[in-house]
Amino acid sequence: MKSIHIEVLPNAGSSRLPYLEDKLVIVIDVLRATSTMVTALANGCQAIIPVLTPEEALERRLTLPGSLVGGECQALPMEGFDFGNSPFDYVPEKVGGKRVIMTTTNGTRAIRDAIAAPMIWMASFLNMQSIISAIIGLFGDDCRFQGIVVFCAGTEERFDLPDTLCAGMLIEALGPNVILNDLGEAARMLFRSSENQLVDKIRNSVHGKKLISLGFEQDLVYCSTPNILPIIPVFENGEIVWLTEE
């Protein structure tokens, strides 16, 4: 395998984006958007439509009969919505065979920021092994991508430790043949130094403490669990669906 260039960005809403037209983008929003997307697809959800605002979500519902609306504002569910942003809301009985229109504060913005990229995947601890395997399969000698940009969603335009640890897990698994920006190197160092205490580090993060204070500790523990869902959500034509083949 050739060396892979990996650039990690700390949060959505950056004014300076790298050139994305020849990159694979990986969006990470551990607490909780990408974790919830992975879970929803694993539970039979047909597609997730990410939107930026609650108003946009409710408008889109009008054009998509039978669809459901989920998302959060300041980590809490919103009135008129079918679900919040807890992965435990997205059970097979509710999401099976349905489209879900989803708004989240940071994750949706990261996807929109990445829109110029030819391929956008959603990663979380839950589906990390599948993401890693797919990257290794993709980045052979004739790979059409010139590198990977990891968009950590962040929290309110700030660095977020859970997202960065997840990026670090990804980078560490790709081995030594990687060329990293400083945040990529930091992510790998952070992951290495806390690999055996991931849940504790996530629990003590600013976003982690907020979720716990709102009663979502179970969500946090679930979202911190690596490699339990063999799914790669891909953003295609405005929707997030299972990646079928590359």
Closer to its own copies by CB, 18 or 77: give it.
18
Shortest Cβ distance from residue 171 to its own copies (Å)?
14
Supply φ then ψ for residue 197, to 5 degrees: -140, 35
Residue 151, token pair as written in the block? 């968009």
Closer to its own copies by CB, 19 or 242: give it.
19
Ramachandran category for residue 154: left, alpha or beta (phi over 0 → left; psi -120 to 50 → alpha): left
Shortest Cβ distance from residue 31 to its own copies (Å)?
11
SS3 (DSSP) at 83: strand
Shortest Cβ distance from residue 98 to its own copies (Å)?
34
Q: Which residues contact its own copies by CB under 8 A? A: 10, 13-16, 155-161, 164, 181-183, 185-186, 189-190, 192-194, 201, 204-207
Closer to its own copies by CB, 204 or 218: give it.
204
The whole-angstrom separation of Cα 142 and Cα 172 is: 23
Residue written as tokens 């809490």? 76
Closer to its own copies by CB, 206 or 221: give it.
206
Buried b (16+ CB within 10 A) or exposed e, 35-69: bbbbbbbbbebbbbbbbeebeebbebbeeeeebbb
The whole-angstrom separation of Cα 224 and Cα 63 is: 35
Closer to its own copies by CB, 89 or 163: give it.
163
Shortest Cβ distance from residue 30 to its own copies (Å)?
12
Please state, as a whole number, how many other Cβ atoms lie within 10 Å of the Cβ of residue 6: 26
Q: How far does the chain reach from its first CA to its final CA, in angstroms?
A: 17
Shortest Cβ distance from residue 12 to its own copies (Å)?
12
Residue-wise DSSP of 14-30: -S-PPP-TT-EEEEE-T
Shortest Cβ distance from residue 112 to its own copies (Å)?
17
Closer to its own copies by CB, 13 or 77: give it.
13
